[in-house]
Structure 1
């Protein structure tokens, strides 16, 4: 993955970034820039802006002065919170309780990013969606299936970290499968809440998401990229992804009962 900023239209820009595991394997990461109808901009997720991407963001935002808020949506994506706070010192900084624990020196807003209060602040432009039936902040630091999704209706864009992914297609298979495949995070079974009905709650939430995003155009997925969809296509593929893991989730729920 190469660092880039892409205009998806209707005042939404996706930022595709680099994230190297062990300094070698580049699994990629993301952020986004959204123009607010009330004036100014919000940034979704933290990323250290560099080079041409930084120049583009600064030109759009009056050298950063017009960035009103940074919203850190995934509780386990904490590496770059300090960098983004330095770049935009005038922006309100939102995160989960895990962001605050990892960076207690930063000036966090008291409202958790997943709270109804934050949802109301940005309701004219964004809808935040918290999955039901799974942990948002797992006690197991390797379980990253939980995240707060951001739906931008104006551009028909869904920005999601980890919960929903895109599976890159190997070169030899691209003639048969030209587009990356939608799939759910592999740690989803471990993220289930330990109670009867957790799978049903997640399934119902996912069906609601599919209905809400029926006309989705863009899926921005952390680590795995960006894909454009025709109306109805994403919803169908999302539900198919759930059907592929439903039995596995049911078995995980039964073991926790």
Structure 2
């Protein structure tokens, strides 16, 4: 899979990359470049930039000098953190507690990426942490928890793993359904109302971010939704899954 930079408008670029699992299958990877109102930039997630995409990003960001921070929003996406920290040593690196533990060589900010302090620092973005499931599961194979990021100006939703698209996703099918990550049930907290809280969170998110047009999924590719389609599809998915999730 060739790396590509997609300009989604109004200061948001989705970077599509590669991640080869089990040395066999490229399930894809992503990052995003966001221009702030100040004229500076941030990166969402760490992904090693190479070739033409690297040159494009450096051109946009004054040879990288204008990238002020990197927000690592998925606790289990840590492979590229150390390399990106070397590429942009002047940038502030935000991550979860797991990032701090897994990649101690990075000079992490004391503010966790999911903190209110970070949200207030970047009003150009909206953040949402799923309720009812563990953000950082004790099971390293459970990856459904992540910090979701919405960029209203471009109507772009950036999501790692929590929501996915159907198998047709790789063909940029506008009608692709939204699926929950396969480990969502395993990620539920050991609380009686965990499933209900997760479903209520997702339904509220569907309405709050109903204007989503561009769905940027870590392993789902970039898909364009029609107006209101994101809300409709996520709502339908939650209604279908609610009984199973609430049963735990």
* TM-score, normalization by structure 1: 0.93
RMSD: 1.5
- TM-superposed CA distance for 1:178, in Å, is 6.3
Q: Is 1:228 the equivalent of 2:224?
A: yes
Tell me what 1:189 maps to: 185
Tell me what 2:202 maps to: 206
Contact 2:169 2:221 in 1 (8 A): no
Deviation string, structure 1 residues 194-249 (Cα, Å, up to 9, x no partner) = 11111121111111111111111100001111111111111000111112322221
Tell me what 1:144 maps to: 143
Tell me what 1:126 maps to: 125
Tell me what 2:56 maps to: 56
**3-state SS, counterpart of residue 23 of structure 1:** coil
For 1:243 and 1:2, how far apart are their aligned partners in 2? 37
- TM-superposed CA distance for 1:143, in Å, is 0.5
For 1:87 and 1:170, how far apart are their aligned partners in 2? 31
For 1:247 and 1:46, how far apart are their aligned partners in 2? 36
Q: 161-170 vs 113-122, which deviates more?
A: 161-170
**3-state SS, counterpart of residue 43 of structure 1:** strand
Tell me what 2:79 maps to: 79
Tell me what 1:95 maps to: 95
Unaligned 5+ segments in structure 2 are: none
Contact 1:215 1:230 in 2 (8 A): no
Deviation string, structure 1 residues 49-107 (Cα, Å, up to 9, x no partner) = 01111010000001100000000000000000011111111100000010010111111
For 2:66 and 2:47, how far apart are their aligned partners in 1? 17
Pick the aligned partner of 2:234 from 231, 234, 238.
238
For 2:169 and 2:27, how far apart are their aligned partners in 1? 15
Q: How does 1:23-34 map to 2 (within 5 A)?
A: 23-34=23-34
Tell me what 1:44 maps to: 44
Change in CA separation of 1:241 and 1:59 when aligned onto 2, cut-off 3 Å: same
